Amino acid sequence: MIQFDAVSKRYPSGHEALNRVSFRIERDEMVFLTGHSGAGKSTLLKLIMLMEQPSNGQVLVDGQNLRKLGRRQVPYHRRRVGVVFQNHQLLFDRSVFHNVALPLLIAGYHPREAARRVRAALDKVGLLKKETCNPITLSGGEQQRVGIARAVVNKPMVLLADEPTGNLDPGLSSEIMHLFEQFNQVGVTVLIATHDLALIARMPNRTMTLRDGQLFQGQVAAAGAGS
Amino acid sequence: MSSPGHRRGRRETGAVQSKATLADRLDAWRSHHGLVATESLRRLLRAPGASLLTWMVIGIALALPASLFVALENMQQLTAGWDGAARVSLFLEDSVNEEAGRRLGQQLARREDVAQSVYVSRQAALEEFSQLSGFGALLSELPENPLPAVVVLQPSLGASSVAAMEQLLLQLGQLPGVELAQMDMKWVQRLYSLMALGKRISLALAFLLGLGVLLVAGNTIRLAIENRRDEIVVTKLVGGTDAYVRRPFLYTGLWYGLGGSIVAWLLLTLLLWWLDDPVGILADLYDSSFELQGLGVSGSLSLALAGIVLGLAGAWLAVTRHLGAIEPR
Ligand SMILES: Nc1ncnc2c1ncn2[C@@H]1O[C@H](COP(=O)(O)OP(=O)(O)OP(=O)(O)O)[C@@H](O)[C@H]1O
Ligand SMILES: [Mg+2]
């Protein structure tokens, strides 16, 4: 579902955030991406949703080479990729409900149908009671969950999450992880970037480790021990 | 924690998102436009001070050329009957006798560019003159009649076609037996030329002020785009197309234009009301039934359309220039 072929990313500043990264994630997989701060995790996710272009190499999503997507096709690609952002990217000029509804309205859903789906998604992250609140009045963890609801509301093919449990307590973290597992079980490819090694240790999933822009496949513990 | 969507087969998930039918989508599209339109209007009304200022600026810029056009329309209405007042007098040479003069009058009446022509003999001219002037006694003292015979004719062209009139005058002056061809109502022509000039000036002014409206709308919307940067970024991140991102700003431009037109219409109505009394008094003094005409329905609609088109064009300008630069990072 997601394939990187020798992908490098050099930012205009000259910093090489990714260096010849290659991997494959199958359709039914749920994979963790870990690494120290600045290792290039967010950069890797940004390449998948075309917030950045690779300097070298190719990124394929569902067999589609992203380099070959025209500017007009980018929005449609993004609709198939749900993203939970590290900095939430919520809008503070509207309610939680309208934040979550945004992808549906963009995709052309009727407001009635959209409302039904928004409530279902909010219910899943346990925020149905907060639907009329402005996200600015929510705690960091609640904002994170609004972001998760928005990422999954349009039933994407691929779900990317950048530090989705960064602000959550351990109980809530494992609940959110459980939620991701559920999505994975119905066929959504899930890629989660996280620092939370303790959490990863409890999960059976494959883990990819980035160090200074280079990828080390395999278990976290092994990669950590190798340094 | 599981919804119907998640009990579907594994492979279906990707396709689920596009299952809406065409009719559904059309309905959704319509209600989306309605929503965006009302939301942009609501946004403007939420900052009434700033919006009113923009509406006033656009309104004044539209009212100026509109009132010039209304003034010209009224002038045209007032002077519509005046072409008929244009008369040409052909003063005949003394050698032309009465019968020849009468024949000339009849010949001229058959010309296509002449509506009417009447021969006035020297004797008839003298009688008319003494009657009108009151110098009858004095004239009878003179040894001979000093007045020439005249053919008075009314061109069918109307005084508004200045060039054709000059041409006619030249031709008539060269006819055998004609001493001099003179136009009585040159000033009507001057008035019409002035009005044609006025029309051009107001067109030029309308163009310039229209450009101003466009730029005002464009600049205001550029600021709105700047203010809504976050929203644009997030919208693009979750798959908003350029058209989707553009739409609220285009509607904002439309509302600015329409609001400006309404302000212009109110200003114009106020102006007409303010002028109505003195114009009435003036018309009475001249025994005229002239009444000041407003924009009317079609004029009002044109004004609204002009405002909307300019507002939209300004928004389009701002959007194409500035939206592309805002990309998620
Ligand atoms: N827009 C940018 N311009 C220049 N350099 C950048 C840009 N974005 C990221 N970088 C650099 O690229 C490197 C990788 O950044 P990235 O955000 O991918 O790290 P990360 O693994 O997500 O870190 P964290 O765990 O702290 O979120 C960092 O050194 C960062 O300074
Ligand atoms: Mg990061």
Better pLDDT: A135 or B90: A135
Mutation test of ligand 1: which of A13, A18, A19, A43 has the most ligand atoms closer than 8 Å to its C-beta? A43
Domain boundaries along the sequence of chain B? 32-80+192-325, 88-183
Residue with tokens 């339109």: B37
Mutation test of ligand 1: which of A42, A52, A192 has the most ligand atoms closer than 8 Å to its C-beta? A42
Residue B98 C-alpha to ligand 1 middle, in angstroms? 109
Task: State how far residue B247 is from chain A, nearest Cα, in angstroms.
Answer: 11
Phi/psi-derived region of residue A133, left when phi > 0, alpha when psi is between -120 and 50, beta in every other case: beta
- Residue A74 · residue A50 · CB < 8 Å: yes
Residue A215 β-bridge partners? A210
Q: Does A78 touch chain B (CB under 8 A)?
A: yes
Distance, in Å, from the CA atom of A97 to the CA atom of A90, rounded to the nearest integer, reads 11
Distance, in Å, from the CA atom of B204 to the CA atom of B20, rounded to the nearest integer, reads 52
HSE, side-chain direction, 13 A CA sphere, residue A203 = 25
Phi/psi-derived region of residue A218, left when phi > 0, alpha when psi is between -120 and 50, beta in every other case: left
Reference B239, options A3, A7, A73, A164; nearest CA is A73
Mean pLDDT over the full length of chain B: 84
- Residue A223 · residue A209 · CB < 8 Å: yes
Mean pLDDT over the full length of chain A: 89
The pLDDT tens digits for B69-97 are 898 888 887 776 665 567 788 888 888 88
| pLDDT band at B127; cut points 50, 70, 90 | confident
- Residue A75 · residue B236 · CB < 8 Å: yes
Longest dimension (CA), chain B: 126
Within 8 A by CB and 6+ apart from B221, the residues are B249, B252, B253, B256, B314, B315, B318, B319
Decide if pLDDT at A220 tops 50: no
DSSP code per residue over A31-65: EEEEESTTSSHHHHHHHHTTSS--SEEEEEETTEE
Nearest-10 crossing angle of helices B22-46, A111-124: 80
- Residue A106 · residue B240 · CB < 8 Å: yes
Residue with tokens 């009435």: B280
Ligand 1, residues at Cβ distance < 6 Å: A 11, 13, 15, 17, 35, 37-43, 86; B 329
Decide if pLDDT at B159 tops 60: no
Strand segments, DSSP code E, in chain B are 88-92, 114-120, 150-155, 178-183
- Residue B66 · residue B272 · CB < 8 Å: no
Within 8 A by CB and 6+ apart from B42, the residues are none
Residue with tokens 């990422």: A151
Within 8 A by CB and 6+ apart from A12, the residues are none
CA-closest residue to ligand 1 atom 16: A40
Helix (H, G, I), strand (E, B) or coil at A133: coil
Q: Which residues does chain A have within 8 Å of residue B43's beta carbon, measured at their own beta carbons?
A: none
In the prediction, which pLDDT does B107 show? Answer: 86
Average of pLDDT values for B284-298?
A: 82
Average of pLDDT values for B227-242?
A: 92
Q: Which residues does chain A have within 8 Å of residue B6's beta carbon, measured at their own beta carbons?
A: 182-183, 185-186
Decide if pLDDT at B208 tops 90: yes
Neighbouring C-beta atoms of residue B211, cutoff 10 Å:
14
Q: pLDDT exceeding 90 applies to what percent of chain A?
A: 69
Residue A195 β-bridge partners? none
Q: Of A69-78, B138-147, B255-264, B270-279, where does mean pLDDT reach its minimum?
A: B138-147
The pLDDT tens digits for A42-62 are 999 999 999 999 999 999 999
Q: Of A222-226, B44-48, B237-241, B268-272, where does mean pLDDT reach its minimum?
A: A222-226
Looking at the partner chain, which of B3, B25, B241 has a beta carbon nearest the beta carbon of A75? B241
Q: Which residues of B263-274 are buried (b: 16+ CB within 10 A; e: fewer)?
A: bbbebbeebbee
Within 8 A by CB and 6+ apart from B146, the residues are none
Helix (H, G, I), strand (E, B) or coil at A165: coil
Nearest-10 crossing angle of helices B296-322, B186-227: 40
Rounded (5°) CA angle B228-B328-A56 = 165
Reference B320, options B231, B253, B261; nearest CA is B253
Residues of B with CB under 8 A from a CB of A: 1-3, 5-14, 16-18, 20, 24-25, 27-29, 31-32, 35, 230-231, 233-242, 244, 327-329
In the prediction, which pLDDT does B192 show? Answer: 78
Burial class (CB in 10 A: 0-12, 13-18, 19+), B8: middle
Distance, in Å, from the CA atom of B168 to the CA atom of B162, rounded to the nearest integer, reads 10
In the prediction, which pLDDT does B82 show? Answer: 65
Q: Write the DSSP symbol of residue B170.
A: H
Distance, in Å, from the CA atom of A82 to the CA atom of A125, rounded to the nearest integer, reads 15
CATH architecture of B88-183: 2-Layer Sandwich (3.30)
Q: pLDDT exceeding 90 applies to what percent of chain B?
A: 37
Task: State how far residue B240 is from chain A, nearest Cα, in angstroms.
Answer: 6
In the prediction, which pLDDT does B48 show? Answer: 93
Q: Is the pTM of this model over 0.80?
A: no
Residue A196 C-alpha to ligand 1 middle, in angstroms? 18
Q: Which residue of B has its CA nearest to A90?
A: B234
Q: Which residues of A132-159 are buried (b: 16+ CB within 10 A; e: fewer)?
A: eebbeebeeebbbbbbbbbbbbbbbbbb
- Residue A153 · residue A122 · CB < 8 Å: no
Q: φ and ψ at A32, to 5 degrees?
A: -100, 145
Task: State how far residue A222 is from chain B, nearest Cα, in angstroms.
Answer: 33
Secondary structure of chain A: what % helix, strand, coil (to 5)? 40, 25, 35
Better pLDDT: A226 or B196: B196
Average of pLDDT values for B35-55?
A: 93
Which domains are delineated in chain A? 1-80+161-221 (3.40.50.300), 90-155 (no CATH)
Decide if pLDDT at A120 tops 60: yes
Helix (H, G, I), strand (E, B) or coil at B324: coil
Phi/psi-derived region of residue B129, left when phi > 0, alpha when psi is between -120 and 50, beta in every other case: alpha
The pLDDT tens digits for A206-218 are 999 999 989 987 5
As a three-state string, the secondary structure of B241-278 is CHHHHHHHHHHHHHHHHHHHHHHHHHHHHHHHHHHHHH
In the prediction, which pLDDT does B20 show? Answer: 61
- Residue B149 · residue B96 · CB < 8 Å: yes
Cβ contact (<8 Å) for A111 and B3? no
| pLDDT band at B161; cut points 50, 70, 90 | low
Cβ contact (<8 Å) for A107 and B13? no
In the prediction, which pLDDT does B160 show? Answer: 56
Rounded (5°) CA angle A70-A74-A79 = 150
